Amino acid sequence: MSDSADSSDSEVYIPRDPVVPLPVSGPRERKKVERFAIVTPEKTEKPIVIPQGKGKKLCDIPTVNNNLDKLKAIDETARGLHRLLFGRNGVPKALKANLREFHGFPDLSEVIKKKNSSFFKL
């Protein structure tokens, strides 16, 4: 028994440094959320230039003006005609107004050379 008593005396519990509680000052501080955003350069659209031709404006021709009134701006016919005359798609709000203001190409031979493929696609 003396052997077991010696071993228990050698293993004496020595307390370590006392644990100091941290000061609590309310809820934890939240991290700011960083949202992922793709930065795209803004496209600057050039205004549509209506060519100054020799003919009448389309709004001055009664039959054409009535037919344009019947068309919707999202109609494929109106969009195709605008693309053919001005070389690009138009904004639906201004599409019919641009078509009414058209009064011919300045020089038809230049337009045919430039847009040869678009004339024959239709």
- pLDDT tens-digit profile of 66-76? 998 998 888 89
Query: Whole-angstrom Cα distance, residue 111 to residue 105?
Result: 7
Give the tokens for residue 52.
Answer: 């100054």
**Any domain includes 58:** yes
Query: Whole-angstrom Cα distance, residue 58 to residue 63?
Result: 9
**Any domain includes 86:** yes
What are 86-122's pLDDT values in tens digits? 888 888 888 999 999 998 877 766 666 666 666 566 5
**Any domain includes 53:** yes
**Any domain includes 118:** yes
**Any domain includes 41:** no
**The total number of structural domains that make up the chain:** 1
Please state whether the predicted TM-score (pTM) of the whole model is above 0.75.
Answer: no
**Any domain includes 32:** no
**Any domain includes 94:** yes
Find the mean pLDDT for residues 78-90. Answer: 87
Cα maximum dimension of the chain: 126
Query: Any idea what DSSP says for residue 60?
Result: G
Domain containing residue 81? 49-122
Position of tokens 């001055």? 60
**Any domain includes 74:** yes
Binned at pLDDT 50, 70 and 90, residue 63 comes out as very high
